[in-house]
Amino acid sequence: MKCVICKHGETQPGSVTVTLERGGATLIFKGVPACICDNCGESYLDESVTMQLLEAAQVAQETGVQVEIRAFVAA
């Protein structure tokens, strides 16, 4: 897919680190599958991956996590 940010690069499959902050909790997910622009490095997450990250952030907030670093595991 053509990158919507730089309009020059093409996206390639890869993995990224995603940091989420929610209600005082900071979560860092490593190895998140994404499409990454080969020109500017912008990353795009699939809708299902995004939903998994948001659900994990909600659980972390509810359980009182302040900071957590974890490897992404696809459901």
Residue 58 in domain: yes
In the predicted model, what is the mean pLDDT of residues 7-36?
94
**pLDDT on residue 75:** 72
Residue 62 in domain: yes
Give the pLDDT confidence of 40-51 residue by residue, as tens digits: 999 999 999 999
At residue 17, does pLDDT exceed 80?
yes
- Quickly count: other Cβ atoms within 10 Å of residue 45's Cβ: 16
Q: Which residue's entry shows tokens 């005082």?
A: 24
CATH number of the domain within which 19 lies? 3.10.20
**pLDDT on residue 22:** 82
Number of domains forming the structure of the chain: 1
CA-based nearest residue to 68, from 38, 20, 26, 10: 26
Range of the domain at 32: 11-71
Residue 67 in domain: yes
